[in-house]
Structure 1
């Protein structure tokens, strides 16, 4: 960072320096989500963010070098929230469940999180076209999320075979691409469709992708 933290160890009003740093950083992250998710990243300024966070402008540079760094930090928290929603749901899935039912159980909490319009705008709108660094972060995160989701489905459906005519990484990219575009258009529509319809539709898509492939592989092993 471009400025050193204030008087480490000095406490004010019973709040330690470390606690004060954590609080200010948290206030900036929360302010970033509200500002980037409403007026947008390109309209944001350090002064405006600090005013929203209710901290002095100079404190911004204790935690972030520029607004792009705050955007990436906010984006990381949004993705963690989405990922945690899916990871938490997988523990509730019963062994032997059909692949479409599994997909629905994973997607329901995911799209519930997407119903936060600030988060949805940051994840699917504000990180696009900012810089090569942000763009690469976005692409990497989307690929990782697709791999995670496909991996969860494979736990119940079986392995998806790889071969000369099928690339599993590209399959994960295609799957998350469909989910991401649906989430983006759902947000832009003002969430006009009911969440259950969105979930059921995407679950059907995923089941139609994964189940035939895994069934084919299983039949091949049995023959």
Structure 2
């Protein structure tokens, strides 16, 4: 899994063969297939591990956040952005390679989006709802915005500073969820 963590991030999932994975991990192809049915299954395991770790990290930050919608938004955004950007490989697997893999991770990606949407909805549940749009749709919209900000950080030649990402994401979420 360690070899895949690096290779799937760069050169990327589509460019990484089982032979290359096994060579990098110093295991035989047979040993690989004793653990995984293919590279897709390994990518799914990596993606799900990254998602579970990030959900736990954000949930902890939300528990420790001030008891206001703005405080929860700021804490959750900062926690997620810091967690995702702490290791470029994690960010790339979660936000770039998951999309480039096509249908391979469609179900896994959808489960991740749903889990994060529920986290956003739960964090905002104690506060009045803003406007006529459902909180679920707003949660999905802010998740999409966060993903695009992180993709910019990953792919840009001159990536934005983490603080700029946090400020932009917090602004979007504050407005969308009615914290301002």
- TM-score for the superposition, normalised by structure 2: 0.88
Give the helix-richer structure, 1 or 2.
2
CA contact (8 A) 1:142 1:173 kept: yes
**Aligned residue number for residue 73 of structure 1:** 45
CA contact (8 A) 2:51 2:94 kept: yes
Question: 5 Å matches for 1:104-123?
Answer: 104-115=74-85, 116-123=87-94
The equivalent of 2:106 in structure 1 is: 135
8 Å contact kept, 2:121–2:139? yes
- Poorly superposed stretches of 4+, deviation over 4 Å: none
Residues 129 and 135, structure 1, Cα contact 8 Å, conserved in 2: no
Q: Structure 2 stretches of 5 or more lacking a match?
A: none
Match of 2:122 among 151, 165, 168: 151
Per-residue CA deviation, residues 151-194 of structure 1 (Å, 9 max, x unaligned), is 21334xx15379xx533322221111111111111221257322
Query: How big is the shift at 1:63?
Result: 1.0
Larger Rg: 1
Name the CA distance, whole Å, in 2 between partners of 1:145 and 1:191: 28
Q: How does 1:2-81 map to 2 (within 5 A)?
A: 29-81=1-53
Give the distance between the partners of 1:149 and 1:30, measured in 2 at CA.
30
User: Aligned-pair distance for 1:94?
Assistant: 2.8
Quick one: structure 1 residues 106 and 161, their matched pair in 2 at CA, closer, same or farther if it must change by over 3 Å? closer
1:82 is displaced (CA, Å) by: 1.6
CA RMSD of aligned residues (A): 2.2
Aligned pair partner of 1:208 in 163, 175, 178: 175
Q: Post-superposition shift, 1:203?
A: 1.1
What's the TM-score, normalizing by structure 1? 0.72
Query: Does the C-alpha gap of structure 1 residues 63 and 179 become closer, same or farther in structure 2, counting only changes over 3 Å?
Result: same
5+ residue gaps, structure 1, are: 1-28, 216-223
